[in-house]
Amino acid sequence: MTKKIVVFTGAGVSADSGIPTYRSSDGLWANYKIEDVCTPEALARDRATVINFYNMRRREMAGKLPNAGHKAIAELEQYFDVEVVTQNIDNLHEAAGSTKIIHLHGELTKLREDSGERYITDIGLRDQRLDETAPNGELLRPHIVFFGEAVPMFEHAAMVVNSADILIVVGTSLAVYPAASLVQYVRDSSVPIYIVDPAELNIRSRNPITHIRERAAVGMPQLAEILKRKLGD
Ligand code: APR
The best mutation among 9, 22, 212 to test binding of ligand 1, ranked by most ligand atoms within 8 Å of the C-beta, falls on 22
Average pLDDT of the segment spanning 71-95: 98
- Is 2 a residue whose pLDDT tops 70? yes
Question: What digits encode the pLDDT tens for the residues 203-227?
Answer: 889 999 999 999 999 999 999 999 9
Strand order in the sheet with 209-212: 101-103, 81-86, 4-9, 166-170, 193-196, 209-212
Give distance in angstroms: CA of 14 to centre of ligand 1: 9
pTM of the model: 0.97
Q: Any residues with CB less than 8 A from the CB of 61 and at least 6 apart, and which?
A: 19, 90, 91, 108, 109, 125
Question: What digits encode the pLDDT tens for the residues 6-24?
Answer: 999 999 999 999 999 999 9
CB of 55 sitting under 6 A from ligand 1: no
CB of 82 sitting under 6 A from ligand 1: no
Q: Taking all residues of the chain, what is their mean pLDDT, rounded to a whole number?
A: 96
Which of 125, 59, 69 shows the shortest CA–CA distance to 98?
69
- Is 233 a residue whose pLDDT tops 90? no
Instruction: Using the atom order of ligand 1, give the atom closest to the CA of residue 201.
Output: 15
- Residue 105: active-site member: yes
Catalytic residue among 70, 93, 105, 143: 105
- Is 126 a residue whose pLDDT tops 80? yes
